[in-house]
Structure formats: structure tokens, C-alpha cells
């Protein structure tokens, strides 16, 4: 095995998703993942702290994207519209990886510990967006309520997007879910 292999992170992620799907998360070891990827365990640990991180490593970049998009939303945008801009910005991140995202979600859905980790990640994203809204001048509890509602919209839209056989964009699912939330809050 050569010292340097191109796209080690991607290969490890692909190997992990395959093994988690075949054997289950609990039955898959770091050694199994590294071997499947044609790499060493040492290389695995250069990229991921543990086997859960293969599923959650992009959370920091996603948070930066959401916070940056809330901050960059037009000044005239209300809090929910600023959050909508941020949520729709995630389309570019997920769209090109739709199949691996589906596999990732199936692995998470099959493991209670991973489901808990996913909920913690979503709560962290909501908290970060609430902070971005506060920096835009939105007071609490409005900032927190809006961010939490935004993450609920995202979660529902994301679930729709990965479960559909149609090729609708994630941003379309987000807009539809947001419109449904607005209709419910308007009493329609």
C-alpha cells in the first residue's frame, strides 16, 4: 500500500456507508472500514475521531453555511425569510450527494445512538442560526423560535427529499414545507 492515496476521506466514507448498510453500524469496526477502503486504521484516525464521525463530519461546514447565509440575507428580509434563505442554501451541499445522503440517513434511522446524535446536531444548528438572527437584531424569544421552526422545516423537507422517487430539488421541498408552516400559523 502506498503512503499517499488520493481521496482517502471520500474512500473511507464510502466504505463505512457500505459496511454500515451491509452489517449494521454496531457490527462494523474501524479496521473493517479502513480495510474496505484500502487504507490503514491510522489513516482513518487522521480523518475521523471515531466511526460515528464518518456520518457527522460535515456538521461544522453546514453550520458555517447556515450562519453565513442568515447573515447575508437581505436586510429587508424578516427573520423567517432569512432562515429560509439559509435553508435553501443547503441544496448545493446535499443535491450532488443525494444517494450517499440517503444511505447515511438509513444508517442513522437504524441506530438509536445515531438518531440521538443527529438530533443534537440539529439542535446545535438551530442554536447557531438563532445566534445569527440575534446579530441581525432579532430579539429572543423570536430568534430562538424562528431558528427552531426553521430546523423543523428543514428536517421535514429533508425527509421528504430523501424518500421521494422524483428528482425535486431539496430547495423545492424546503419552500413547500415553509409554505405549509406559514399556512398553519396563519390559521388556514
Spell out where 23-173 has E strands.
none
User: Can the peptide bond before residue 141 be classed as cis, meaning omega within 30 degrees of 0?
Assistant: yes
CATH architecture for the domain at 58-185 = Orthogonal Bundle (1.10)
Same CATH fold assignment for domains 8-51 and 58-185 = no
Give the C-alpha separation, 52 to 106, whole Å.
14
CATH 1.10.10.60 for domain 8-51? yes
Which cell numbers in the block locate residue 33?
Answer: 472500514
pLDDT at 100: 87
Contact between 150 and 126 under an 8 Å Cβ cutoff? The reply is yes
Give percent of the chain above pLDDT 70.
Answer: 96
Nearest of 105, 80, 124 to residue 162 by alpha carbon: 105
pLDDT at 4: 54
Output the pTM of the full model.
0.88
Residue 2 has pLDDT above 60, yes or no: no
Which cell numbers in the block locate residue 180?
Answer: 405549509
Give the C-alpha separation, 23 to 45, whole Å.
21
Spell out where 54-122 has E strands.
none
Q: Count the neighbouring beta carbons within 10 Å of the beta carbon of residue 33.
A: 25
pLDDT band at 188 (very low <50, low <70, confident <90, very high): low
Give mean pLDDT, residues 93-114.
91
Could you tell me the residue ranges of all domains in the chain? Answer: 8-51, 58-185
More confident of the two residues 50 and 3: 50
pLDDT at 154: 96
pLDDT digits (tens, 9 = 90+) for 146-175: 999 999 999 999 999 998 776 789 999 999
Amino acid at each position: 500500500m502506498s503512503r499517499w492515496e488520493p481521496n482517502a476521506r471520500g474512500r473511507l466514507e464510502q466504505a463505512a456507508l457500505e459496511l454500515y448498510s451491509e452489517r449494521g453500524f454496531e457490527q462494523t469496526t474501524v479496521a473493517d472500514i479502513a480495510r474496505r477502503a484500502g487504507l490503514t486504521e491510522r489513516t482513518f484516525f487522521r480523518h475521523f475521531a471515531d466511526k460515528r464521525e464518518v456520518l457527522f463530519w460535515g456538521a461544522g461546514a453546514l453550520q458555517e453555511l447556515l450562519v453565513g447565509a442568515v447573515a447575508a440575507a437581505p436586510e429587508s428580509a424578516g427573520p423567517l425569510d432569512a432562515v429560509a434563505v439559509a435553508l435553501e442554501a443547503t441544496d448545493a451541499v446535499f443535491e450532488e450527494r443525494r444517494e450517499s445522503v440517503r444511505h447515511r440517513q438509513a444508517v442513522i434511522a437504524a441506530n438509536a445512538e445515531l438518531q440521538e446524535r443527529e438530533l443534537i446536531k440539529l439542535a446545535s444548528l438551530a442554536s447557531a442560526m438563532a445566534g445569527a438572527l440575534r446579530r441581525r437584531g432579532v430579539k429572543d424569544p423570536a430568534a430562538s423560535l424562528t431558528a427552531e421552526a426553521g430546523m423543523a422545516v428543514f428536517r421535514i423537507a429533508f425527509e421528504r427529499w430523501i424518500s421521494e422517487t422524483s428528482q425535486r430539488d431539496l430547495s423545492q421541498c424546503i419552500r413547500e414545507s415553509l409554505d405549509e408552516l406559514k399556512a398553519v400559523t396563519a390559521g388556514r
